[in-house]
Chains A and B, each alone.
Chain A
């Protein structure tokens, strides 16, 4: 068990709606990153937050946004949901350090967009 918890575990939304996913990082970790994993594919980096600011972003549009709170919990918000947003969303926490890459993942939030 990694100590990273995500909620909700499953949810269903309709196209055009907005969704907020939550993550609680492992104790002592100050960096959180979010990944999108479509069915049968590898995870894709969305963005990462350090000291409550976004400091790295993958190839995702602005309707994907996030927040990191002082207690290192985090949110991923997705506006104007599209069918292709259906995926497992994984949160990963780590301690900020160059060239680490050892991430601690939660079990994910599975989003279905109808």
Chain B
């Protein structure tokens, strides 16, 4: 069975600090996909990134960066120079390659990030 663990329930930082959100996953598949979604107070989840299991290159998008390490089954997310608008709940998610259409995601419990001014 697949599982996603986000050990950090809540993180609080001061604006401009860097912050890393941890994600550890379990799956028996050799082909799978990892995601990060952001959930602001309005409720809708916003897609941030998808990474397939064959691509271990780190990715940077503006202030966001992701570190994927298959050896430790981790897919961590770093926000550099955090801003108040980054305050939200962040979810890590997993989709196995056998799932039709890729819309069946297994989510972690989420990390509530609060960025204080």
Contact = CB atoms under 8 A, between A and B. Distances in A.
A42 B109 contact: yes
Interface residues of A, number: 33
B44 interface: yes
Contacts of A99: 33, 52, 95, 97, 102
A33 B109 contact: no
5 contacts: A50-B101, A94-B102, A94-B103, A101-B35, A105-B44
A92 B43 contact: no
Nearest to B51: A101
Interface of A: 2, 4, 31, 33, 40-45, 48, 50, 55-56, 58, 88, 90, 92, 94, 96-108, 110
A56 B103 contact: yes
Interface of B: 4, 33, 35, 42-47, 50, 52, 91, 93, 95, 97, 99-110
Contacts of A104: 47
Contacts of B91: 42-43
B35 to A, nearest CB: 6
Contacts of B105: 43, 45, 101, 103
Contact of A90 (B35, B45, B47): B45
A102 B101 CA distance: 10
Given A43-B91, A102-B47, A103-B47, A97 B42 contact: no
